[in-house]
A and B are shown apart, each in its own frame.
Chain A
Amino acid sequence: MRVLLLVLLTLVFLMGVTSAPAVAAPPSTAAVNDAALLTPRPARKLSAYNLFKDGAAQVPNDGVYPYDLATPLFTDYAHKYRFVYVPEGKAAAYDDRESFVFPVGSVLVKTFAYPADFREPEENIRLIETRLLIRGDKGWAAWAYVWNADMTDADLKVAGKVLPVSWVDEAGDQRDIQYVVPNRNQCKGCHVMGDEFSPIGPKARNLNFTYDYEGGAENQLAFWANHGLLDGAPAPAGAPSVPRYDDPAAPLEARARAYLDINCAHCHRAEGPGSTSGLFLTWWEQNKTAWGYLKRPVAAGRGSGGFMFDIDPGKPDQSILIHRLKSTDPGVMMPEVGRTTVHTEGVELLREWIKTIE
């Protein structure tokens, strides 16, 4: 009896001691705020997470690492700053094909920004929004924070927002758009696999290239592994890779398929929201009809543009795929969300590719 009491007392004491730091210790202002990341309710202000040493300059906090994608998703020409944070002592699990499996408490950070003049991309940068994908214990949650005019902080926007954005493009032309900050449901519109919320970008094939880190250039997969962010990754040479879509030295077909993979395949795959169309555009899709070759539309409506096939070999301008990428009409355009302008360079790449298909 006495022994049991002792054991119980010890247990209570131990519990008290072990739980004490979690309750008592205020979140350090210096480190990333793990407690905030683990709270199901999102913070009202982006600054609450301490992800940046300098938010306006997008200087990440310790343990928050920048990364880039070989071929990125197009979002109205926005410049993007991407960061990954994995809690101390944990690591994401490598996957050959899908997004890495991140541990609870991880966050993927993406800031959308426009330099006033794209010919001077490092000057006069206006931050628009920072999107967080936070891995909670029940799965991923997506939140969008819209930067204030002084870029001192960003506020949570659950229902989305439309913002006028202007810049001068590389050719010196003035561009004005209505930039759409997505609402939470729109985030899920793309970030979903089956029923699960899922990241899109951090896949081996899109990370497998050399990034210019502060401490020197290094392959991103190697860097992630060396810094304990990633478990189980093979040497970069043994991992898949896609080319940059705008790398003229890479094979045309690979560039086109890489572009379709990152821009379309999160929906257009058997597990995605675009499954109903039967058009599947993943990097590995081998079924010609499935990736659009002489494939007839199903529920395209006027999205078909009067054309018979998604990809009409050799005839880009009679291919529904090109028609929908060229459009900004909400009843026609693809992707359905994420852009209000045409990605001329992307469309041109796909036109050139379709021209070569027999």
Chain B
Amino acid sequence: MEKGEAMTSFKHALMGLLILVVTPAALAEDAIVRIDASTDIQEALQEALILAEPGTTIELPEGTFSFSAALSLDVPDITVRGAGMDKTILTFKNQIAGSEGLLITSDRVSIENLAVEDTPGDGIKAKGVDTVSFRNVRVEWTRGPNAENGAYGLYPVESKNVLIEGSVVKGASDAGIYVGQSQDIIVRNNRAELNVAGIEIENSYRADVYGNTATRNTGGILVFDLPNLPQMGGHSVRVYQNKVVGNDTANFAPPGNIVATVPRGSGIMIMANREVEVFENEIGENASANILLVAYPREYNDPTYNPLPRRIYVHDNKHGRAGWDPDGAVKDLIAPRTGMPVPQIVWDGVVDGFWAGLFGPDDEESVMINEPEGTTFANLQFVKDHILPWGADPDRDIEDYAGSYEFRGPVELPQDKPVAVAENN
């Protein structure tokens, strides 16, 4: 062995050691299970998902594979990786059992480079998972918008440390990307198209939603909080640098679900929630409104629930056309008060109590807006209108709402740390 070689292999050994020390999972990451395209892939993949040792990467070949039953994963530290979102396609058109395509219930799981198509129920659901990543995954209902499509495309719920990036979701009859009752979330650089809701963050804490394109949905990006659920009080959500344009698909959600109330042509909609920052988005060609700030509109029986949006900060968005052809509640309740076109930003002005109704909510619990010159706005002042015998007109003076809130820094996730070792190369 030459001296240089010895040196190199020593360096390699050292590197290996370093990797081991830095990332404890490195050793196990070597385990790769390749699913053979020629086998009965349904049984082979499900068996691999059950029998895999923690740390395994399960690799799927190129091709379109049909499944009649739901897949499920309950082993921690697993990566499932295809050959690309247009190359490895799992179709559930003939599914007879299971209410989603893939269900994940174990921690530290990553799904990458594959597509799930035409599930009768949800696409990929992660329930109660700590650290789950979807990277370059496509979930699609190939016939386009249809009330018979499944509800959610990518569906982490009651989970924490959620990363969804580079993915594509199309045709969901509820939300393409739906993060519910979860904590510490990044949704970035995805494309949501032809869903009822493109991206929805519901009853969740600390979410950063950025770099996404939401187009041709009924509503682009929704931040909601609902009553009667184990996790309520959604808060600390930042929606920024997204492109939310041309959301023009008629609402095709089955009635009963909250998204069935979303008007066609809603850009970004904030319902209930506390501390939501909406900034530097490009929002336009949304026929109802670009930004809607509203209270939960239905009756409920839950004394612990707060139905109002509070501490909302909207700033530096770039607005295109909006409100020329409103739909749903925007058409029936808002347009008659604002006239046409409906302003780019609308706050329903539903506030808590008589005093706030007359004079606006406390500064700490209010809505702050700093948008470019010329942005149109209306506060409908629903409560004031209700209190005063002579009613109240919408307040269109956007200057009255100038101000700001200090919000937290970026969400950080354990699976989203830069790899320090690479620099030693």
Contacts and interface: CB of A to CB of B under 8 A. Distances in A.
Contacts, number: 139
| Majority-rule SS of B interface residues | loop
Interface stretch (A27-35, A209-217, A270-278): A270-278
Interface residues of A, number: 45
A265 to B, nearest CB: 15
B257 interface: yes
Nearest to B121: A331
A297 interface: yes
Given A275-B230, A330-B95, A331-B120, A159 B256 contact: no
A188 to B, nearest CB: 6
B255 interface: yes
B51 interface: yes
Contact of A278 (B128, B155, B229): B229
A306 B105 CA distance: 29
B391 to A, nearest CB: 30
Contact of B255 (A185, A288, A294, A308): A308
Contacts of B122: 301, 331
Given A180-B69, A276-B180, A158 B95 contact: no
Contact of B228 (A160, A289, A301, A331): A289
Contacts of A180: 69, 97
Contacts of A305: 254, 256
Interface in A133-181: 158-160, 162, 178, 180
Contact of A296 (B119, B151, B181, B256): B256
Of A189, A278, A302, chain B has the most CB atoms within 10 Å of the CB of: A302
Nearest to A275: B230
A61 interface: no
Interface in A322-339: 329-333, 336-337
Residue with the highest number of chain B CB atoms closer than 10 Å, among A158, A301, A306: A301
Nearest to A180: B97
A306 B120 CA distance: 16
B256 A337 contact: no
Contacts of A330: 70, 95-99, 120-121
Contacts of B97: 162, 180, 330, 337, 340
Contact of A185 (B74, B180, B302): B74
A290 B228 contact: yes
Interface residues of B, number: 53
Contact of B256 (A184, A185, A307): A307
B201 to A, nearest CB: 13
Interface stretch (B42-50, B243-251, B334-342, B347-355): B42-50
Contacts of A99: none
B268 to A, nearest CB: 21
A297 B257 contact: yes
A178 B96 CA distance: 9
B174 A301 contact: yes
Given A184-B50, A185-B105, A275-B158, A300 B256 contact: yes
Contacts of A270: 230
Given A180-B69, A185-B73, A330-B96, A301 B119 contact: no
Contacts of B50: 158-159, 183-185
A340 B229 CA distance: 29
Contacts of B137: none
Nearest to A329: B120
Interface in A277-291: 278, 288-290
B69 A185 contact: no
Contact of A301 (B70, B151, B230, B300): B151
Contacts of B70: 186, 330
Contacts of A159: 43, 46-47, 50
12 contacts: A158-B47, A159-B43, A160-B46, A186-B98, A301-B151, A304-B256, A307-B256, A308-B255, A330-B96, A331-B148, A331-B150, A337-B98
Given A297-B257, A299-B178, A301-B173, 11 more contacts: A180-B97, A276-B181, A296-B300, A299-B151, A301-B121, A301-B151, A301-B174, A301-B257, A302-B151, A330-B98, A337-B98
3 closest Cβ pairs, A-B complex: A301-B151, A304-B256, A331-B120
